Amino acid sequence: MDVINPATGERADTIEAHTESDVEAALERASAAFETWQDEPIRKREELLAAAGDVLRENKREYAETMTREMGKPISQAIAEVEKCAWVCDHYAEHGSAYLEADSHASPPGSDVKTVYDPLGPILAVMPWNFPFWQVFRFAAPHLTSGNVGLLKHASNVPGCAQAIEEVFRQAGYPDGVFQSLLIPSDLVDDIIEDERVKAATVTGSGPAGRAVASTAGDQLKKSVLELGGSDPFIILDDADIDDAAETGAWARNQNGGQSCIAGKRFLVHTDVYDEFLERFVDEIESLTVGDPTDEATDIGPQARADLMDDLHEQVEASVEAGADVLTGGEPMDRKGAYYPPTVLTDIPEGCPADSEETFGPVAAVYELDDEAAIVAKATDTEFGLGASIWTTDRERGRRLAREIDAGCVYVNQLVKSDPRVPFGGVKASGYGRELAREGMLEFVNRKTVWVE
**Nearest residue to 318 via CA among 286, 359, 278, 261:** 359
Q: Centre a 10 Å sphere on the Cβ of residue 28 and count the other Cβ atoms it contains.
A: 12
Q: Centre a 10 Å sphere on the Cβ of residue 41 and count the other Cβ atoms it contains.
A: 9
> Is 227 annotated as catalytic?
yes
- Strands 427-428 and 384-385, sheet pairing: antiparallel
The DSSP secondary structure of 128-146, one letter per residue, reads -SSSTTHHHHHHHHHHHHT
**Nearest residue to 145 via CA among 448, 449, 447, 438:** 438
The residue annotated as part of the active site, out of 85, 89, 261, 409, is 261
Angle formed at CA 100 by CA 215 and CA 46, multiple of 5 degrees: 100
**Nearest residue to 170 via CA among 12, 338, 29:** 29
Query: Residues of 63-89 as b/e, b for ≥16 C-beta within 10 angstroms?
Result: bbbbbbbbbbbbbbbbbbbbebbbbbb
| Residues in CB range of 275: below 8 A, 6 or more apart | none
The residue annotated as part of the active site, out of 70, 81, 227, 358, is 227
> Is 352 annotated as catalytic?
no
Query: How far from 146 is each of 2, 121, 182, 266, CA to CA, in Å?
Result: 35, 10, 22, 38
- Strands 363-369 and 343-346, sheet pairing: parallel
| Residues in CB range of 340: below 8 A, 6 or more apart | 257, 302, 303, 309, 312, 313, 329, 332, 333, 361, 362
- 23 sits in the region (left: phi over 0; alpha: psi -120 to 50; else beta) called alpha
Q: Catalytic positions, please?
A: 227, 261
